[in-house]
Amino acid sequence: MELAFISAGTFAMGSPDTERGHQADESLHQVTLSQPFRMGTKEVTQAQWLGIMPHNRSNFPGEHLPVEKISWREAVAFCEKLSEREGHKYRLPTEAEWEYACRAGTEGPFSGGESLDSLGWYQRNSNRRSHEPGLKIPNAWGLYDMHGNVSEWCLDFYQAEYPEDAIIDPVGPAKGSSRVIRGGSWGYFDKACRSGARSSAPESYQFVQTGFRVVVELGH
């Protein structure tokens, strides 16, 4: 897997009330990530998945296509097995890590400006299916398909209300009924693919439009 180095830093997580598509669960708040990390430049492919896991039920089969129709639990199991094999700590990104990496220093709805077409596959340009990761332009940190293609599981339990105060290294609530999904997908309208847009689902659910990418903790 190709990994991009993501430096530590502080950013405004969420979206302003004036942003097109803004939702009530996206209230702006300051987040500091105190530790750098590495993130997969692309979504995990079916070939990478089958290198670790025994079965692939993806709705759009193809070794170079992103794996999908996998649950949060299965994504976590993949990371655990990959960690054991390679001796590094692989895991899903926290929701804050995901948005920080997606934004790559930007503050608008998309990491490349106001338009999504050059950055990702979504309802208007996807032909209602997933595509090989890396065909659109990357963000400033070299990450592809952070907007659209397949939406991506994050580590956190979902909570509808963000903290009001500045926070350091958030990991979400200790318990909940669903896990965070980020990025939007090939089937979403552009507003649902924004950097600050959020969705969630129970951790056992499997969607044809949802996959994941990995984070590697530095020092492990």
CATH number, domain containing residue 41: 3.90.1580.10
- Mean predicted confidence (pLDDT) in 74-88: 97
Higher pLDDT, 115 or 217: 217
Structure tokens belonging to residue 156? 């956190």
Whether 220 has a pLDDT exceeding 60, the answer reads: no
pLDDT for the residue numbered 113:
67
Closest by CA to 71, choosing from 153, 168, 157, is 153
- Mean predicted confidence (pLDDT) in 133-144: 96
Chain centroid to CA 196: 11
Structure tokens belonging to residue 165? 């105060």
pLDDT for the residue numbered 114:
67
Residue 78, φ and ψ in degrees, nearest 5: -60, -50
Per DSSP, the three-state class of 40 is strand
Structure tokens belonging to residue 56? 């692939």
Query: Contact 87/113 with Cβ under 8 angstroms?
Result: no
Q: Where are the beta strands (DSSP E) in 7-137?
A: 9-13, 29-33, 37-40, 90-91
CA distance 93 to 39: 8
Over pLDDT 70: what percentage of the chain?
98
pLDDT for the residue numbered 81:
98
Burial class, 194, CB count within 10 angstroms (exposed 0-12 / middle 13-18 / buried 19+): buried
Whether 219 has a pLDDT exceeding 90, the answer reads: no
Average pLDDT, the chain: 96
How many structural domains is the chain composed of? Answer: 1
Taking only the tens place, the pLDDT of each residue in 176-215 is 999 999 999 999 999 999 999 999 999 999 999 999 999 9
- Contacting residues for 32 by C-beta, under 8 A, at least 6 apart: 8, 9, 10, 166, 167, 168, 169
- Mean predicted confidence (pLDDT) in 34-49: 98
pLDDT for the residue numbered 115:
79
Closest by CA to 120, choosing from 97, 96, 143, is 143
Whether pTM > 0.95 for this model: the answer is yes
- Mean predicted confidence (pLDDT) in 108-121: 89
Neighbours of 59 (CB within 10 A): 13
Taking only the tens place, the pLDDT of each residue in 60-70 is 999 999 999 99
pLDDT for the residue numbered 112:
78
Element (H, E) at 153: strand 151-157
CA distance 177 to 72: 12
Whether 139 has a pLDDT exceeding 90, the answer reads: yes
State which residues form the domain around 192: 3-217
